[in-house]
Structure 1
């Protein structure tokens, strides 16, 4: 078990409120009268989630979009964000990017906090949303026989990161300025049995959905659309930050949006993911985890 997984397991003892969903989901889901409030918080660290020399405007975009992607996986309409900001090398560029992304999604900044500190910059954002469909989808309701679907290709962020790191002329936008698939999430929320976004790698996130649902997923690697060369398919399945939506539908059902069927839910077996007939566990290296 990774350090991250062990720490989250310990936190579950403190997260007893039903809104926490056992810390097995993308967001907290809080019922308030006739509305459902959806809350999420993600952090980004320099040297881990973004490069030290990266344009702070792009960092601001990614910070907001990655949180809104969690709301998309719940079919939630964003209501606003709270920013936790550590002063960096170019605060004006960060503010310019923040203005761009908030305007793009029509989301207000509601507040937050600022700090000064030494060492690599660490940023945090809390996004608040309202569920457009009740109950809001979870990771935990996939059923045996369901089809497993993804909204689009993976591996684009991997190539974008490499282009940015290596300072090549290749397009790095998928890594720098990912898109939160909000409208797709709204369309899917009424029909899916389970849904989440792909932030840490398709295989790892599929394993999380499988464990939360008490099933396994049989995945056909050739059916997964990739944005990378065919020779790098295995890497693309494990590289995160593409922010596609991964979801399940009952057998025979078709999604209301363009998507790709990549596998099916089966009875829980020795591993949460079976890739091309080969059982894989988290120890197999399914995706990105904090050590």
Structure 2
């Protein structure tokens, strides 16, 4: 099977490649052709996942297909963009029809869930890796950016944190899950393998929130990006950080809290919001919680119940 036969069999015919309202021409030509309204901006983001770095070398292909697309699509959610399509550049160490079938099914499952079709890409031989580029649309001057936080804003997160990071030792087989309930185990593994991009919330926050991003490298590290870009300080109240119950059951309260603060891979949204908008947002998305506030100054400050700064040795994932 050559490259073009591979693409035709496992991707062109897959459920995720069957067009969309903004797709004028999809897979099969030198370029895809997209229809984007003149009054909209095009949002584009690229993520690369490498075997042994971002996922275990023996990762199940179906779950890997889901994860690869989810983590990339989360960037569109962070901007409040409406998904249009995505491309996939896939590097394979060997040609396995069984692996490709499972991977394409996982990819399609997440694509249909997020409403984002596959519009093109590339395949090549080499160490297993995948690069996903997502494309979306958002109205001019409406996108949620990191540089718009304002002193006095509330700092919010879209849901509980720490489950994905807590799941890593389970995924790697480093610890036992015998003491976990079946429900807790499922929650942890789903958080790692099938994160849910917060697309609906991101679009709802347009015109309401000031700044936003998705939590990929850890709450403290990612909030640092907002603080730096906006020229403000973020004060996070440790007691208010929502920690996934399943993470606490697996690791204990303290270790689970550290996962929530610096573990990463949550793909929840962190955003700053005027207090007047909080009730509206929480009525529509009840899992949204306030964890702190935006102040004058610089940096991210984790505060204890007494209002004292909590020292942090490790703030988040670093690529280098």
Residue 226 of structure 1 corresponds to 243
Residue 6 of structure 1 corresponds to none
Residue 260 of structure 1 corresponds to 289
Q: Secondary structure at the match of 1:237?
A: helix
Residue of 81, 88, 92 corresponding to 1:76:
81
Q: Note if contact 1:61-1:100 (Cα within 8 Å) is conserved in structure 2.
A: yes
Residue 157 of structure 2 corresponds to 150
Q: Please tell me whether Structure 1 or Structure 2 has the larger radius of gyration of its CA atoms.
A: 2
Question: For the residues of structure 1 that align with 2:70 and 2:40, how far apart are their CA atoms?
Answer: 24
Q: Note if contact 1:43-1:124 (Cα within 8 Å) is conserved in structure 2.
A: yes
Residue 15 of structure 2 corresponds to none
Residue 241 of structure 1 corresponds to 265
Question: For the residues of structure 2 that align with 1:100 and 1:234, how far apart are their CA atoms?
Answer: 31
Residue 11 of structure 2 corresponds to none
Are 2:45 and 1:40 equivalent residues in the alignment?
yes
Q: TM-score, normalised by structure 2?
A: 0.75
Residue 114 of structure 1 corresponds to 123
Are 2:131 and 1:102 equivalent residues in the alignment?
no
Q: TM-score, normalised by structure 1?
A: 0.82
Query: How far off is 1:252 after superposition?
Result: 4.4
Query: How far off is 1:130 after superposition?
Result: 0.9
Are 2:315 and 1:286 equivalent residues in the alignment?
yes
Query: How far off is 1:76 after superposition?
Result: 0.8
Question: For the residues of structure 1 that align with 2:147 and 2:167, how far apart are their CA atoms?
Answer: 32
Residue 27 of structure 1 corresponds to none
Residue 140 of structure 1 corresponds to 147
1:66 to 1:54, Cα distance in 2 relative to 1, 3 A: same
Q: Secondary structure at the match of 1:135?
A: coil
Question: For the residues of structure 1 that align with 2:311 and 2:130, how far apart are their CA atoms?
Answer: 33
Query: How far off is 1:49 after superposition?
Result: 1.2
Any unmatched runs of 5+ in structure 2?
A: 1-35, 178-184
After the TM superposition, which residues 8-27 of structure 1 pair with which residues of structure 2 at under 5 Å, given as runs?
Answer: none
| Structure 1 runs of 4+ with >6 Å offset | none
Residue-pair matches, total: 255
Moved more, 227-236 or 199-208: 227-236
Query: How far off is 1:236 after superposition?
Result: 2.2
Residue of 166, 169, 189 corresponding to 1:162:
169
Query: How far off is 1:251 after superposition?
Result: 3.7
Q: Note if contact 1:273-1:279 (Cα within 8 Å) is conserved in structure 2.
A: no
Residue 192 of structure 2 corresponds to 175
